[in-house]
Amino acid sequence: MNDKKFYITTPIYYPSGKLHIGHAYCTVATDAMARYKRLCGYDVMFLTGTDEHGQKIEDKAREAGVTPQEFVDNIVAAPGGVLDLWKLMNISYDRFIRTTDAYHVESIQKIFKAMYDNGDIYKGSYKGKYCKPCESFWTESQLVDGKCPDCGREVMDAEEEAYFFRASKYAGRVRDLLLNTDFLEPKSRVHEMVNNFIDCEGGLQDLCVSRTSFTWGVPVDFDPGHVVYVWLDALFNYMTALGYQNSQYHDVEKFWPADAHFVGKEIVRFHAIYWPAFLMSMNLPLPKKLYGHGWLNFNGDKMSKSKGNVVDPHLLSERYGVDALRFFLLRSFPFGSDGNFTNELLIQTINNDLANDLGNLVSRTTAMAEKYFAGKLPQDKQSAELDDELISLAAGLRSRYEEQMEKFQFQNALEEIFKVIQRANKYIDENAPWALAKDMDANGPRLAAVLYNLLESVRICTVLLTPFMPESCGRIFAQIGADESARTWDSAEKWGVLPAVVSVTKGENLFPRIDMAKELSELDAIMEETKKAALPQLEVEPFLTEQVDFDTFCKSDFRAVKVKACENVRKSDKLLKFTLDDGTGTDRQILSGIAKWYKPEELVGKTLVAIVNLPPRKMMGRESQGMLISAVHMEKGEECLHLLMVDDAIPAGAKLC
């Protein structure tokens, strides 16, 4: 039995839209690590998946006019979806979890109940701020300039009965884990976590772990109306996918604790603080390593759908090949820091490293073996002192590479490989095989040795490049005559593994050079199109030509009003009933047909504008004393409505004129 085991995970992705290059970055890194460990002889479990619950998905599904399940199915499993993308990118995951899978739901319900029974989950009332896009709760003091500290967007007031997890109870142990062990890397992230969330004013706060304002989540089975907070649901995927608290799988004993969780920097907080605390509450062993990688920006700017600057991995794979893209992602950016993706850098990396250095080395070596020896090297070889440096550099490569890979420093590991590749190219120039070939009788054995040394260097580099570019490496092995035994981890540490009379076949060009100027202009044109498509297609209503005299206009009494309460009108899917403070001291009731665009709880506390001298009117049996003012426009054939909201500093009753 193999006792070398390795369990590695990616975050599970929100299927709220198409995945982009940032998502592919983490998955490719995890894939390279999983393949590297398999190469080293480990029994690997590589888990990825999708995180399918939460208000954001519920809202998006409503907008799209489908059920939440249909919505996520469409993004995860439909052609061109998440599963297809991972197939395209050659992601060798062993298991794919969807948090809507029945076995996961069952586990989460049991886990929630167990934490409730052990006293770590209790019922209270939640009052604070909520960032809908991030599905995160914040206290007032955690906000940055009143906005979500993660994404910088507006937060909303939230108050509801909710369950809480006693995170505060585990603050000391989590702090110790972060400060006194190597659990979280890079180290630079440790102090940020401890200072901002544990050693902050008020200490680590208990975490709200249930919601009642929407339904798309794992139901709390002992308290109908509550659904489990999406992060508790999502984090436990790392264990439920092994069969924890379900009978779908039976791998907990074998693979838990995880050897490495790879996650992006903005979700380190959940993984470094709450995830260990949840596990402590359940008396479970903690993962061995959490690595918070940096973000990929595009041309120095955060990628975002609305800016139309989201880089599409489908497009790039199609144009340059999956391996080139995988390689670029891990070669160009240090894994722990942010990276700036530019099209120039992508093309430059492909041209310099893959076309010039690696591609040339392989094609020159195999072409010369074919040309001078008809593809089969002779037994007789003559070594020279000139060989020593290349041989010792290549033979020592595996240990230098391993040192970097064990630290998840993909860029440095690749750098070590490329030092050997560059040295081998220089060795060709030093030995000038074309000059040796002029007198084959005298120089044949020397030329054979030169080519053999080049093939061995290529072989060792290719073994170690396999986790990054599996498909291309298979093709290189075939060209240089490396059989299975010459492709192994053990063989990468040995010199002279290829048979002396190795047979070589020159194949097609592995990495064609790209015409930078032409390619950049084509990519720019595609980007422009994407940007245009991302812009809302506005249809502005024609302006009225009939004029209104000033006195008539002045008869309309517009006032600032504050929303004291707001609720859906029973049996109507259009109407919201507002109770408003209009500054007179008596509540004003207005009904408005805007339920399609707003949830009542979003509006409480807002300052709106109403016309208050319209004659009262009955709607669904209730009186409406005026009308709220909205901006309305058409977008992609759909009517869009925005209530006019004004500065909260404007007092109720203020007249608009």
Angle, alpha carbons 95-281-13 (nearest 5°): 30
Cα separation of 192 and 170, whole Å?
Answer: 18
- Please count the residues of this chain forming the interface with ligand ME8, following the rule CB under 6 A: 19
CA 171, 176, 177, 179 torsion: positive or negative? positive
Cα separation of 26 and 33, whole Å?
Answer: 11
Interface positions, 205-224, toward ligand ME8 (CB under 6 A): none
Residues pairing with 559 in the sheet: 610, 655
Binding-residue pattern over the window 363 to 382 for ligand ME8, x denoting contact by CB under 6 A: --------------------
H-helix segments, 40-156: 55-64, 68-76, 82-88, 102-117
Which H/E stretch holds residue 53?
A: none
At 645, give phi and psi (nearest 5°): -115, 135
Cα separation of 198 and 168, whole Å?
Answer: 9
From residue 430, alpha-carbon distances to 160, 320, 433 in Å are 75, 32, 9
Instruction: Give the residue, chosen from 7, 23, 320, 643, that forms a contact with ligand ME8 under the rule CB under 6 A.
Output: 23
C-alpha closest to that of 7 among 288, 405, 326, 410? 288
Beta carbon of residue 21, minimum distance to ligand ME8 (angstroms, whole number): 7
- Closer of 269 and 577 to ligand ME8 (Cβ): 269
Query: Could you tell me if 313 and 325 are in contact, meaning their C-beta atoms sit under 8 angstroms apart?
Result: yes
DSSP letter for 197, please: I
CB atoms < 10 A from the CB of 443, how many?
Answer: 17
Largest CA distance in the chain: 110
Instruction: Give the residue, chosen from 232, 258, 272, 296, that forms a contact with ligand ME8 under the rule CB under 6 A.
Output: 296
Instruction: Give the residue, chosen from 6, 7, 26, 35, that forms a contact with ligand ME8 under the rule CB under 6 A.
Output: 26
Rg for the chain, CA atoms, rounded: 31
Q: Which stretch binds ligand ME8 (CB under 6 A): 234-242, 349-357, 389-397, 529-537?
A: 234-242
- Closer of 23 and 459 to ligand ME8 (Cβ): 23
Interface positions, 245-274, toward ligand ME8 (CB under 6 A): 263-264, 266-267
Beta carbon of residue 75, minimum distance to ligand ME8 (angstroms, whole number): 11
Instruction: Give the residue, chosen from 6, 8, 12, 607, that forms a contact with ligand ME8 under the rule CB under 6 A.
Output: 12
Query: Could you tell me if 165 and 270 are in contact, meaning their C-beta atoms sit under 8 angstroms apart?
Result: no
Instruction: Give the residue, chosen from 14, 328, 333, 335, that forms a contact with ligand ME8 under the rule CB under 6 A.
Output: 14
- Closer of 341 and 511 to ligand ME8 (Cβ): 341
Q: Which stretch binds ligand ME8 (CB under 6 A): 8-16, 382-390, 412-420, 538-546?
A: 8-16
Q: Which stretch binds ligand ME8 (CB under 6 A): 233-241, 321-329, 349-357, 617-625?
A: 233-241
Assigned token pair, 620: 């669904």
Beta carbon of residue 267, minimum distance to ligand ME8 (angstroms, whole number): 5
Beta carbon of residue 29, minimum distance to ligand ME8 (angstroms, whole number): 10
- Closer of 13 and 401 to ligand ME8 (Cβ): 13
Cis check for the bond before 257: say yes or no (omega within 30 of 0).
Answer: yes
Amino acid identity for residue 592 in this structure: S
Residues pairing with 340 in the sheet: 297
Cα separation of 111 and 214, whole Å?
Answer: 21
Beta carbon of residue 47, minimum distance to ligand ME8 (angstroms, whole number): 11
Instruction: Give the residue, chosen from 13, 86, 216, 229, that forms a contact with ligand ME8 under the rule CB under 6 A.
Output: 13
CA 480, 481, 483, 486 torsion: positive or negative? negative
Interface positions, 85-104, toward ligand ME8 (CB under 6 A): none
Beta carbon of residue 652, minimum distance to ligand ME8 (angstroms, whole number): 39
Beta carbon of residue 161, minimum distance to ligand ME8 (angstroms, whole number): 26
Characterise 300 by phi-psi region: left (phi > 0), alpha (psi -120 to 50), beta (else): left
CA atoms within 13 A on the CB side of 124: 14
Beta carbon of residue 155, minimum distance to ligand ME8 (angstroms, whole number): 18
Assigned token pair, 292: 């918070």
Which H/E stretch holds residue 267?
A: none
- Closer of 132 and 381 to ligand ME8 (Cβ): 132
- Closer of 297 and 589 to ligand ME8 (Cβ): 297
- Closer of 9 and 592 to ligand ME8 (Cβ): 9
Instruction: Give the residue, chosen from 28, 45, 47, 51, that forms a contact with ligand ME8 under the rule CB under 6 A.
Output: 51
Beta carbon of residue 22, minimum distance to ligand ME8 (angstroms, whole number): 2
DSSP secondary structure letters along 552-589: HHHTS-EEEEEEEEEEEPTT-SS-EEEEEE-SSSSEEE
Instruction: Give the residue, chosen from 103, 249, 295, 418, that forms a contact with ligand ME8 under the rule CB under 6 A.
Output: 295
Which H/E stretch holds residue 263?
A: strand 260-264
Beta carbon of residue 270, minimum distance to ligand ME8 (angstroms, whole number): 7
C-alpha of 402 from chain center: 26
Q: Is 25 one of the binding residues for ligand ME8 (CB under 6 A)?
A: yes
Q: Which stretch binds ligand ME8 (CB under 6 A): 12-20, 183-191, 395-403, 497-505?
A: 12-20
Binding-residue pattern over the window 297 to 336 for ligand ME8, x denoting contact by CB under 6 A: ------x---------------------------------
Beta carbon of residue 322, minimum distance to ligand ME8 (angstroms, whole number): 18
- Closer of 235 and 448 to ligand ME8 (Cβ): 235
Beta carbon of residue 194, minimum distance to ligand ME8 (angstroms, whole number): 20
Beta carbon of residue 241, minimum distance to ligand ME8 (angstroms, whole number): 11
Query: Could you tell me if 227 and 207 are in contact, meaning their C-beta atoms sit under 8 angstroms apart?
Result: no
Q: Which residues bind ligand ME8 (CB under 6 A)?
A: 11-14, 22-23, 25-26, 51, 234-235, 237, 263-264, 266-267, 295-296, 303
